[in-house]
């Protein structure tokens, strides 16, 4: 995997090549720690396994996923009506954007959005990175949503979802849907790609920790901020909080002292 290091927004944009495949432009994913694996949140959970043969330990991934999605739908049905959910993949996309662990890994068509995700949390004191992924395989959304493909245990799929919520639409969202494994071994996306025919699909751009804050401030000047990326009340609140954290107080009042 090709790797590059950058220290500014300008340098970041300069190092992005004009790459295309037959079907796609590159998509991007920002991570606050470059050492994090390209593994979806569902496989980062600590799940119990059961051994029903004494020879072959089988993870209960299928059961856990089915139960989690079913509970999300049944208990949130009144809140989910506005999304016009047609299938389990629709439900998974919505669940992903509300924090439920899924087999989806988020990507965006905007390199600057991905850079923002990488430097957004300054409390993480690690070098960040942006992955650039040029897919050469593609599964149609409706095709992947079908039962057989949705529960595939051997292949990942790159998909462009329906814009069923504002965040997916605003972020130019894409996903890789990872296999529903029937074995303990979990392979990150870079391993899955390297096992295929084209290992040049993925490259990594590293942002040293000491440059994350300055890059975040420069992105803010370009209107790349919480509200432009999260166009809802949560994003607006985050943006206002950040704006006011950077504004010095104009008047220093007297300290209040209670009468004894």
| Cα–Cα distance measured from residue 73 to residue 62, given in angstroms and rounded to the nearest whole number | 17
Under the banding of pLDDT at 50, 70 and 90, the label for residue 9 is very high
- With a pLDDT cut of 90, the percent of the chain lying above it is 26
Of 27-36, 141-150, 214-223, which range is least confident? 141-150
| Cα–Cα distance measured from residue 95 to residue 100, given in angstroms and rounded to the nearest whole number | 5
Per-residue confidence (pLDDT) for residue 196, from 0 to 100: 67
pLDDT, tens digit, for every residue of 182-198? Answer: 777 788 888 888 776 56
pLDDT above 90: residue 124: yes
Per-residue confidence (pLDDT) for residue 129, from 0 to 100: 96
Contact (CB, 8 A) for 198 and 9: no
Chain center to CA of 146: 23
What is the rounded average pLDDT of the residues 20-41? 86
Under the banding of pLDDT at 50, 70 and 90, the label for residue 97 is confident
pLDDT above 90: residue 171: no
Tell me the whole-structure pTM to 2 decimals: 0.79
Q: Which residue carries 């990326």 as its tokens?
A: 229
Report the alpha-carbon angle 194-199-203, nearest 5.
105
Per-residue confidence (pLDDT) for residue 11, from 0 to 100: 94
Of 85-94, 118-127, 236-245, 247-256, which range is least confident? 247-256
């Amino acid at each position: 995997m090709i790797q590059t290091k950058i220290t500014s927004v300008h340098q970041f944009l300069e190092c992005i090549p004009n790459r295309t495949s037959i079907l796609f432009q590159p998509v991007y994913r920002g991570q606050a720690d470059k050492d994090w694996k390209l593994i979806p949140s569902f496989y980062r959970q600590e799940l119990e396994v059961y051994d029903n043969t004494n020879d072959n330990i089988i993870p209960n991934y299928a059961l856990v996923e089915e139960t989690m999605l079913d509970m999300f739908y049944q208990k949130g049905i009144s809140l989910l009506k506005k999304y016009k959910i047609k299938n389990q993949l629709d439900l998974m996309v919505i669940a992903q954007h509300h924090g439920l662990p899924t087999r989806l890994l988020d990507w965006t068509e905007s390199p600057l959005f991905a850079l923002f995700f990488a430097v957004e949390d300054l409390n993480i004191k690690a070098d960040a990175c942006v992955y650039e992924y040029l897919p050469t395989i593609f599964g149609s959304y409706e095709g992947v949503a079908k039962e057989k493909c949705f529960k595939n245990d051997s292949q990942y799929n790159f998909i462009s979802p329906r814009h069923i919520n504002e965040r997916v639409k605003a972020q130019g969202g894409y996903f890789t849907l990872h296999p529903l494994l029937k074995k303990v071994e979990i392979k990150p996306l870079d391993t899955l790609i390297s096992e295929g025919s084209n290992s040049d699909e993925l490259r990594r751009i590293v942002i040293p920790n000491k440059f994350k804050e300055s890059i975040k401030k420069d992105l803010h000047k370009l209107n790349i901020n919480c509200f432009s990326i999260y166009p809802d009340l949560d994003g607006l609140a985050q943006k206002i909080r950040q704006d006011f954290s950077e504004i010095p107080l104009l008047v220093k009042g007297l300290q209040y002292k209670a009468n004894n």
